[in-house]
């Protein structure tokens, strides 16, 4: 059985059913955090801290921690978005957001997925990009958001 010290040191590598709150407990998008483009540089943008709330360990562990930056990775099969813990500077991968939070982060998720598609399919048409994103059930109702990223 794990000791309470072990539990205190528990740091999830991924969080699902997540949302972020600012210092006034208002829900906000993680995209207001500075972005970190590479591991060797400091986050770019205005320094800000948000609180990540979510579930780790297949929903068994509640998470609430301050975070100070975000990044995305397009080289995987599915793009990955992570946030940097303020406390111990570990990257936490974001899985599926909380249902009530999806509208807040939908445009940034669509943008990252679109960039991932475009990177892997340089000669693809706008229709192919739309078809690919519309197959993803997270983005079925985002035609107005996608129009911002796809040229006619």
Number of domains present in the structure of the chain: 1
pLDDT at 65: 94
2 within domain boundaries: no
**Residue 28: pLDDT band by 50, 70, 90 thresholds?**
very high
- Which tens digit of pLDDT belongs to each residue from 44-98? 566 778 999 999 988 889 999 999 999 998 888 888 899 999 988 899 999 989 9
85 φ/ψ angles, rounded to the nearest 5 degrees? -65, 130
70 within domain boundaries: yes
- Token couple for 15: 């969080």
Domain span including residue 44? 13-146
CB 70 within 8 Å of CB 81: yes
**Residue 139: pLDDT band by 50, 70, 90 thresholds?**
low
pLDDT at 120 over 70: yes
71 within domain boundaries: yes
């Amino acid at each position: 059985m794990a000791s309470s010290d072990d539990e205190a040191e528990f740091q999830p590598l991924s969080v699902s059913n997540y949302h972020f709150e600012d210092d006034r407990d208002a829900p906000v998008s993680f995209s207001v955090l500075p972005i970190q483009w590479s591991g060797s540089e400091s986050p770019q943008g205005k320094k800000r801290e948000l609180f990540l709330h979510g579930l780790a360990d297949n929903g068994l562990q509640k998470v609430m921690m301050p975070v100070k930056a975000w990044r995305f990775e397009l080289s995987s099969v599915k793009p990955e978005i992570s946030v940097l813990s303020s406390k111990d500077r570990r990257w936490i991968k974001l899985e599926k957001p909380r249902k009530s939070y999806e509208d807040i982060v939908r445009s940034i998720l669509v943008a990252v997925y679109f960039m991932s598609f475009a990177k892997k399919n340089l000669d693809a048409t706008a229709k192919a990009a739309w078809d690919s994103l519309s197959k993803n059930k997270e983005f079925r109702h985002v035609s107005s958001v996608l129009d911002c990223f796809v040229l006619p």
